[in-house]
Each structure stands twice: as C-alpha cells, then as structure tokens.
Structure 1
Amino acid sequence: MRRTDREETLLTYATEKSIETGEIPLEEGWEKLRENGICVLVDILQGNASDRRPFGNKGYVSLYTISYRMCSNAGLYDHSKALYDRTKDEIEHVLQHYVVPELNKNKYADEGNAILNKFSHHWENHKVFVKWMQQLFRHLDNGYIANSSISTITSVGLKLFFDIVFVQFKAEVRESLLNAIDTERDGINIDQDLLRSCVEVFPVMGLSSKCTTLKTVQSALNTQPDLSVYESDLEISLLKRTSDYYARKSRVWLEDQTTPEYLTRAEMALKAERNRVKRYLHPSTQSKLLCACEQELLQKYKGPLINHDQSGLRSLLAEDRNEDLRRMFNLFRRLADGLSPMALMTKKFVQSEGNKLLQERRDLIHSLKSKGRKLSSNDPDLIDQLMTLHSKMSRLVLELFDNEAQFQRALREAFQEVMNADTTSDDSNVELLVVHTDRILSGKLKLDEEEVENRLEHCIQLFQFVSDKDLYAELYRERLAKRLLSKKYTSIHAEKSMIVKMKTQQGAPFTTKLEGMVNDFTVGSYQLSLFNSFSFLS
C-alpha cells in the first residue's frame, strides 16, 4: 500500500474511533499500530522500502491518536501495560531476528572493518527505531511509565541493545576498533566517522545499562555519560595497545634516527593522538592516552636522547639549533622529572664553554710568558667573551626554556664556577671584571650613554656570580678614586648608575663608601665651581 493511501485509511480509522465513545480493542488497535507503524519503520530501516520517510504528518498523527485512545480510558479499557510490554517485545524482536544474525555473519569476516560497518549501521538504525517508538508511544512515558516508576521506552530500547547486541559483540568490535586505530597510526587513512559511531556506543551503553529515566535518544547522547563500560570494555585495551605500539616504534626510531629526528616523530605522534581523541574517542581518554605515549616515547629514553653524543642536547646548544631545543623542552616538560636532566646538561655545557675560555687565556699567558712577555689585565677579551656567553645563554633560557627555574639555577651555578675559577694565581677574574668596568666608566671604549648603560648591566650580571665581593669592592674603590681624581670618567650619572646596580645586588652597606666618594666629589666640584665663579667676579 502506498504511503498516501495508508495515511488516508489510518486517518479515517482514527477519526471514527475518536468520534465513538467505545474502546479500541487491544488486538485490533495493536494490529493497526504494528502494520502501519512498526513494520513500516522496520522495512525502511532494513532497506526494504524506497521511501525513507516513515510517516507523513497525517500518518504519524493517526498512529499516535490510536495508541493514545487505547490508553486514555480507565479500568478495563486502559491497555497501557499491554502496549508497553508489546513495544518492548517488538524492539527485542528486531534485535534478535534482524541485527544479531547479520552481525554473526560478519563476526569473523576477512574484511577488516566488516564488523564495524555492520555494527555502526545497526546502531544508527537502532537509534532511529527507538526514537520513533518513543514518539509513537510518548504518552506512555508521560502517564503509565511515570506513575508506575518503570523504565522509559528510550531506556528500555537502549538497555535491550546493551543486553542483546553489545554484550555479545563488544569483544569483536573492540578488536576491530583497535586494529583500525593502529592502521591509522601507520599512516593509512581510515573512516573516522565509522570509528566515531562505534566508539559512541560504549559510553552510551554505560549509561543505558543503569539509567531508567532517559526521555529520548538525543538526551542519552547529551547526558553526562557513565564511563564504566567505556573504560572497562574499550579504554583499558586501547591504552595497552597504544603502549605496545609505541614501544615497538620507539625502539626502531631510536636506532635509526638522530635525537631531533626522533623528537620530531614523537611530537607528531602526540599531536596525532590528540586529534584521534578529538575525532572519535571520548575526551576523558586524552590525558591517559598521551601519558601512555609519553611513557614509551619519552620517559623510557630521555637519558639516551638528551645525552646522545652526536645529536643530544649538548650538540643542539653548541650548534644553536633553537627549533630543536624548543621542541625538546616542550616534550620533556610533559614528564614529571623530564627537565632535570636537560638542566643538568645545560649546566655542564655552560661550564664547559666557560672553562674553554679560561683555558684559552691560560694558554695565551703561558705562550707570552715563554717569550718573556706578560698579558695585561687591561686585555678585555675574556670578560667580553664571558659576557657574550652569559647573554646568549640567558636569552636561550628565557626564550626557549620559558625562563624555567631549573635552567635559571643551572645557568647561575655554572657561571659561579667559571667566574671563581681564575686562570692563574696572578690573573684574577675579579680584577679583570673591575678593570673592564673601569674601561667603560673611564671613557676608554668611546661609547654613547645607552651603550654605557648596556655594558654596565652586563658587568653587574657577571658581578653577581663573584664569591669574593669584598675584593671586588676594594679594587673597585681604587679604580673609582683614580677616575675621580684624574677626572677621567664618562659621567657622574654613569658612576651613580653602577653603584645603584651594586646596591640592588648587595644592599646599602656594600656601597656606602662608594656613594660617599661620589657625593664628596660632587659636592667638592660644586664648591670649587662656586669659588671659581666668585674669584672671576672679584
């Protein structure tokens, strides 16, 4: 029968029954509902009908009117319980006679995604089927079911899918899902929509296995899920397969690739896993999935990767491989103690570079000594080189390592060692630093005001690492006195600026004598200028 003819017949029947005051007999009414409603819907979902719209407006209104009239009279004429039970039986019948046999055919199919395709197909159909069953008998939810404290039609429909389909086929579906995910990890495209449809079932089943008050299928999909089924029947196995997969991959990558190449692969893998969660896994899986990846890709091999002779952190620092350094930092910061070995290696690198500069000066001193000559303390090279090294590493820690405390400490400890390791007993780093500062403040370097301030800032940065600050203060006072007495200074402003920097580092007592010297000189100069002015006027 064509849909339009069926609708007209139903409408006539429903209208006549509405006018009459008598009951709609159970078997008569059920036959109308089943033949013109449930069977039509099943045929469409099974693909046996060309019209994908189950009912027109007239058809739906007529079916609902019939079912409502069968339950609207109290006493002997109220068929609510019978309709509720038969609705449940129809849903169970469809699952047992249509869904289970077809899934059994594909249970051991050679095609990798056969079971997933069928499982997804029947799940999507089941959602539509339950939706329409709830629509046809919605009045039961609002009346009989609410008054009897029993499961709603939606809850019944989803629970039946759990009991009849999900429990029977979850193992095969899970295995096919995990195989498909590994296939995607190998770089082969898969149907992500298919996986999303299949994965969706697991959290919904957790809710459906316990909740009896679900109003609609959509509300079941939107309600905060019960993840117990998802976690026990999918997530645990997913995490195990993920660990196994990346355990295999990491061993191969470690043997064949440099540290930057390996970390690039690891970064791409973590990004892919995040996208995987976004596309078809439950959001709650992300942190656990990434943790499993990080354990296999990073935690197990952080030592070999960081300390690799040819391409580890030391090489990256030496070669200014900023992009690779940033990647290493971003990856290892994800681990509980991932930055500690990086900070330690950074400290060793800075110590090595600093000690190399000290050794070069020792070699130069020895070479000149063998020729009967002596290297002047005015030679600026070492302090300039140490300033350059500190500036470079400070910028690296700030920009690439987010100024993280462990790297700040590593840089500080490294420079403390270097700055307090004199090249020879007669060649003190403290004296070299004081002399270098004197060259800036005495105007010997021909710098403008901004350059002077910048150089002084570099000096104070090295000053903070000096252990014997009393010696520094003594030598600095001697040089300051000479500059003031000989009037060979860049500016009083620059002198005061340097003293303020030392005061900030060490406190007021440290600079009391220096401030007194500058103040006395300033006052004396002012009084002398007054005297000269007075003498001129006289």
Structure 2
Amino acid sequence: MGYQFIEWDQGWDYIQKGIMKLKRIVEGLSEPQFNSEEYMRLYTTIYNMCIQKHPHNYSRQLYDKYRETFEEYITSTVLPSVIEKHGECMLQEFVKCWENHKIMIRWLSRFFSFLDDYYIAQNHTSYPGLNEVGLNCFRNMVYQKVNANVRFAVLVLIGKEREGEQIDRALLKNVIDIFVEIGMGQMDAYEKDFEGYMLIDTRDYYSHKASRWIWEDTYTNYMLKAEECLRRERDRVSHYLHPSSEKKLVENVKHWLVVLNVTQLIEKKHSDSGCSAWLTVDNVEELSRKFIANVILEQEVPAQGSTLVQQAEDAAMQE
C-alpha cells in the first residue's frame, strides 16, 4: 500500500465525493455500485491521512467526521422523511430508513476501518467502534424521537388484527425487530419502549372483552373464545413479536379472561347443563385445556362421558 502525503482539504474533499455516491446508492438513485478500485482508493486515502506525523495525522478529525456524516444525513434526510408520515406509511418509512442506515454503516465502516483497527484499538479503546457510532446516531436522533409514534401505530394494527382485520404482518415484524436491534444486544429498548405498552394494551383489550362475554355467553362459548384468543396471541408471537414475549402475553390473557372472572365462570359452569363439575379455584391454571378436552369427549362419546372425561382431565393435569 503506497504512502502519499495528503492535506486535510484535499483528502476530505475526495472522501466526501465517495460519501455522496454512497448516499445516492442508498436512496435508490441512478448510481453505479462501488467497484474494487473506488473502494481501495477511499480506504487508502483514509489510511494515509491516519498514518501521517503530527500535525498532519488526521485520525481524530476523521473519526469525528465519520459521526458527523451520519448526523448530517439523519438531520437533513432521514428524520424529516419519517416524521412527516403517519400510521402504516410511517412504519414503512421507518423500516426503509433503518435498512438504509445499516447499509450506510456497513459501507462507511469499511472505508474508515483503519480507525477501528488502529486509532481505536490501539490508542482510544474507550471510544465506541464505528459500528456502534453509527447505531448510536440512529438511536439518539431518530429512534428516540419517533419510537412513541411507531409504537402507537403498531398497537393500532395489532388491535385491528384482534378485531379480525387483515394486516401486514411482515411490516410489523420488521418494525418490532428494530426495537430489538436498536438495543445492540440488550432487550431494554424492546421491553421498555414496546413490550410493556403492548401488555397494557392487551390488558385493556381483554378486560373489555371479558366484561361483555361474561354476561353474553354461556360457559362453553366463553371458554371456547378464551381458548381461541390464547391461540391467536401465540400465533402473533410466532409471526412478529419477539419470542420472549410469549409467556408474558399468554399469562396476561389468561389473567384477564379467566383468573379475574373465575367466580362467575364457576357459577356459569354449574348452571350449564351437561357439564361435569370439575372446575374449582385451585385448578384455574389448567382451565382452558381441561375444558376443551371435556367438551370434545362429551360430544363424541356421551354414553361413556363421565369415565372418559375423567381420563382426559387426568391427562391434562399431567401435561
């Protein structure tokens, strides 16, 4: 790798041209991809500017410019494009900007990789690496400003799906993945900025449903609805929520649909004809599974109902 002395203005002007080309590529404009020669010239320019003797060693200036490049692009282009939109359109733009930002990080961190390999690794280990700098810029300047609106739009779509509407599940997964990825290995952003609110929204939704169903439906219909709700919530986890939410979500639904209404359910159970009186406060945890087994067996083999129902209950208790 040949060495060539480079003044700051000369070197930064050339680097900026490469950055502008990258921005056009990211934005989908008519711009050819970087070829190997262009990549190596950018890398070599930055390398040479970092190995020059003081006062012409520009490592710190380039490190700062790397961060400022993201800050300027976010301020001028990314943030306005997200905040001017609403609802599902905002979610789509948010996902697009996040994906573009990751592309920017990937390419710029390659061009500036000598900073990671030498300037940070050997002299300034307390400094965040280039990848972390890029992610922090998006987290601090975009995510922190719009995550409340993003969360609201996501919860609106989940509410629509709970009411039977078709929604773009792939979009929701992409959005929710950002809550996870923005934590950079930690789940704090997902849990604090999304999951907690989602569980509150779930509580409100099912407490309202329970207050209606407990008066409108028979015990059998109520429990079938409860079982279906549990199935659908598990399905949501498998399609777009983080797996860590499943237990909390299921317990939330059980609590508001079953546990808080157990006294009224017991009364309904005893008042409905043709049902064995196996429901007690002590076995609420197994309520839905045992009930389904009970109903199925009573419908299929009424003559042998009591014996087989007991067997089904015993099997359910052992699961």
Q: Provide TM-score, normalisation by structure 2.
A: 0.84
Give 5+ residue unaligned stretches, structure 2.
295-302
Alignment correspondent of 2:315: 402
Deviation, 1:182, is 0.6
CA contact (8 A) 1:397 1:404 kept: no
Instruction: Find out whether 1:206 has 2:165 as its counterpart.
Output: no
Alignment correspondent of 2:44: 65
Instruction: Find out whether 1:119 has 2:94 as its counterpart.
Output: yes
CA contact (8 A) 2:24 2:30 kept: no
**Amino acid in structure 2 at the alignment position of 1:115:** M
CA contact (8 A) 2:155 2:201 kept: yes
Alignment correspondent of 1:97: 76
Alignment correspondent of 1:228: 188
**Amino acid in structure 1 at the alignment position of 2:20:** C
Give 5+ residue unaligned stretches, structure 1.
1-17, 208-224, 319-324, 347-388, 406-538
Deviation, 1:151, is 0.6
3-state DSSP of counterpart to 1:188: coil
* Cα distance, 1:44–1:254 mapped onto 2, change above 3 Å: same
CA contact (8 A) 1:134 1:154 kept: yes
Output aligned runs, 1:174-323, within 5 Å. Answer: 174-207=151-184, 225-308=185-268, 312=272, 315-317=274-276
1:170-196 Cα offsets, whole Å, 9 max, x none, are: 111111111111111111111122212
Alignment correspondent of 2:34: 55
Instruction: Find out whether 1:42 has 2:39 as its counterpart.
Output: no
Output aligned runs, 1:152-167, within 5 Å. Answer: 152-167=129-144
CA contact (8 A) 2:105 2:131 kept: yes
| Counterparts of 1:263 and 1:272, CA distance in 2 | 14
**Amino acid in structure 1 at the alignment position of 2:168:** D
1:23-78 Cα offsets, whole Å, 9 max, x none, are: 1222212221210x21111112223x134x63123322232222222223444443
Alignment correspondent of 2:297: none
Report which structure shows greater RCO (CA 8 Å, sep ≥6): 2
| Counterparts of 1:316 and 1:243, CA distance in 2 | 29
CA contact (8 A) 1:260 1:311 kept: no
| Counterparts of 1:305 and 1:297, CA distance in 2 | 10
Alignment correspondent of 1:375: none
| Counterparts of 2:172 and 2:261, CA distance in 1 | 32
> What percent of counterpart residues are identical?
30
Q: Pick from 43, 66, 79: which aligns with 1:87?
A: 66
Query: How many pairs does the alignment contain?
Result: 304
Instruction: Find out whether 1:170 has 2:130 as its counterpart.
Output: no
RMSD: 3.0
Structure with greater Cα Rg = 1
Q: Pick from 1, 11, 16: which aligns with 1:29?
A: 11
CA contact (8 A) 2:219 2:265 kept: yes
